Amino acid sequence: MRNLIIILTSTIVTSFSVCGQTKSNNIDNKQTIQNIKFVFDDYVKYQEATDSKADIDLMISSLKSLNKITNHNELEVLINVWMYYDPTDFQGIPEINRILKISRPESIEAVKKRMANKKEWENEESAPYSDLKNLLKQLENE
């Protein structure tokens, strides 16, 4: 909880400090991806089936603030969230799909790379790993 408060405070202070200024999308994306990664890592660490409203809200607002992403590591975070972040009442998957479509050439490569780097517990015949094939087809056919 303390880390979440620090991240939220940092995000608010950063937002206020750039009021009236132009800020690089890369810096915005980096902070947003850090927020997403923090919530996701916390969720996976405790193998929760639910997540706090604050975490879900932070995840969704962070996803909504993203547009095109070209950084492979940032796309990998989104792909892992797409695969494994599924608390009750989470409505963020369409946002991830939107970002991946906007970032289509890079997303296709990131999905292919993620498929090539299958984790030892993942099975090619079962979800969510097997769903990567469908995601790749969707991105290639857009």
Write the pLDDT tens digit of every residue in 27-83.
Answer: 788 899 999 999 999 998 887 667 888 999 999 999 999 999 999 999 999 999 999
In this prediction, residues 76-96 reach a mean pLDDT of: 91
Give which of 3, 27, 5, 29 is closest to 17, Cα–Cα: 27
In this prediction, residues 18-23 reach a mean pLDDT of: 41
pTM of the model: 0.80
SS3 at position 117: coil
Task: Kindly report the number of other CB atoms within 10 A of residue 79's CB atom.
Answer: 21
φ, ψ of residue 50 to 5 degrees: the values are -130, 165
Q: 38-75 burial string, b = 16+ CB within 10 Å, else e?
A: bbbebbeeeeeeebeeebbebbeebbeebeebeeeebb
Confidence grade of residue 91 (pLDDT, cut at 50, 70, 90)? confident
